[in-house]
Structure 1
Amino acid sequence: MSFTPLILAGGRSSRMGSPKHLLSTPDGRPLYQHQIDLLPQVCPYAPTIYISLAQDSQLDDYLRTLPSVTDASPDPDPVLCKTPHIRKVTPPAITIIHDLDANTSSVTSAGPAAGLLAAHRADPARTWLVIACDYPLLTQRALERLCAKYRPPVTCFRNADGFCEPLLGVWGPDGLAELERRVKGSSASAGGRGGEESGRLR
């Protein structure tokens, strides 16, 4: 089964005081760059890695150069190579998916769910490997285990306190359709709803 990589980086970062996707790691790179480097190792056949941003997200010089799904439609599902242990050499394209609504208010914003739903609306049939940008210690092995354990509609990790981490998970079409229904009904964020989904990685 193929997964489409999605980095969530469009939050308001009100607790951080500055856009967290642009915070620097010890080697000087922004947080989102770690995921861009990591995801091709986990999804070597994915032609594109998508970054979800709010309409008003602050951009660095690199992000300003990227196309968005308003410029081009999402790529078709990749054709997986049937020969094991052979990975494509061509690096994936990086494309931005913007939230549909401005992320200027905690009252009107759907929070992290906005990025998930923007991706779902861009292509409702896809299954997305979703990673929030603020996991700088995330490893290839952890993501490969997550993908291997995927069971629809959504599979995610539990943290040390036993709570689900829906912003580090695999979301199928049915899970995202249900999330959209709940957000429309309650304006709740994905972070507050993940524990109610089935198919979790324990």
Structure 2
Amino acid sequence: MTLTPLIFAGGKSTRMQSPKHLLQLPDGRPLYQHQIDLLARTLPTTPVIYISLAQDSELDDYLQSLASTTTSKNPTSHATTNLEAKPKVKVIHDLTPNQSPESESAGPAAGLLAAHNAQPDTTWLVIACDYPLLTTTALQQLCRAYHPPVTCFRNRDGYCEPLVGIWSPEALGRLAERVDAAARGGGGCSSGRRGVGPSRVVKENGRG
């Protein structure tokens, strides 16, 4: 089974009043760069790591360079100097702007579906940028436990974390069907709280 890594970095971060993916760790790396390094260690043979961004996401210089070109680039990691051994990094933008700051589910649904639209046959290992304590061991455990159509971590309160999980084309197809149905009813991607978002798909079809 081939997994393709995807980092979610396009959330509005309205509660923090600052883009989460650009927050810096003590070593100077932004959170998204930390997750790039984590996924590179977890899937050492992967050729490309993808970053999901909203169309209006705030960008640093490196992300700006990715967003403004059709070619991928090596990440500039503070921790690794052998860039030739590192995977390329590419950006996948949401299909529509994230215009619903009151909805926490708009970004994840839009990001997942943008990735599915770009590569319909791909199974994605997805992590959000705001899980800095994730480890390679934890993600490798997730990979071993994967059972289609979708598998994710479950926290101590029993809540499944859809953005620390593995999503198959089948699961993403079901998410697309739910979002399309909601859009026809006037809900769109932002109606996750009414039962069409990633968490609902995990609850009905997933394993945690």
What is the root-mean-square deviation of aligned Cα atoms in Å?
A: 2.1
Structure 2 CA distance for partners of 1:58 and 1:127, relative to 1, 3 Å: same
Partners of 1:118 and 1:179 in 2: how far apart? 12
In the TM superposition, structure 1's runs of 4+ consecutive aligned residues that sit over 6 Å from their partners are: none
Preserved contact between residue 163 and residue 195 of structure 1 (Cα < 8 Å): no
Partner of 1:71: 70
Letter in 1 for 2:107: G
Task: Give TM-score, length-normalised by structure 1.
Answer: 0.84
Alpha-carbon separation, structure 2, partners of 1:24 and 1:143: 22
Aligned pairs, number: 185
Give the counterpart letter for 1:193 in structure 2.
Answer: R
Deviation at 1:46, TM superposition (A): 1.1
Distance (Å, rounded) in 2 between the aligned partners of 1:7 and 1:132: 6
Q: Structure 1: how far apart are the matches of 2:63 and 2:180?
A: 30
Q: What is the TM-score with the length of structure 2 in the denominator?
A: 0.82
Give the 5 Å matches for 1:73-152: 90-106=85-101, 110-152=106-148
Aligned to 1:198: 205
CA contact 1:12–1:104 (8 Å) conserved in 2: no
Tell me the percent identity: 62
Does the residue aligned with 2:5 lie in a helix, a strand or coil?
Answer: strand
Other-structure match for 2:35: 35
- Which residue, out of 184, 187, 197, partners 2:180? 184
2:185 aligned with 1:161, yes or no?
no
1:90-145 deviations in Å (ceiling 9; x for gaps): 31000000001111224798321111110000011000000000000000000000
Q: Residue type of the partner of 2:153? A: F
CA distance in 2, matches of 1:160, 1:18: 27
Which 5+ residue runs of structure 1 have no aligned equivalent?
74-88
More helix as a share of residues = 2
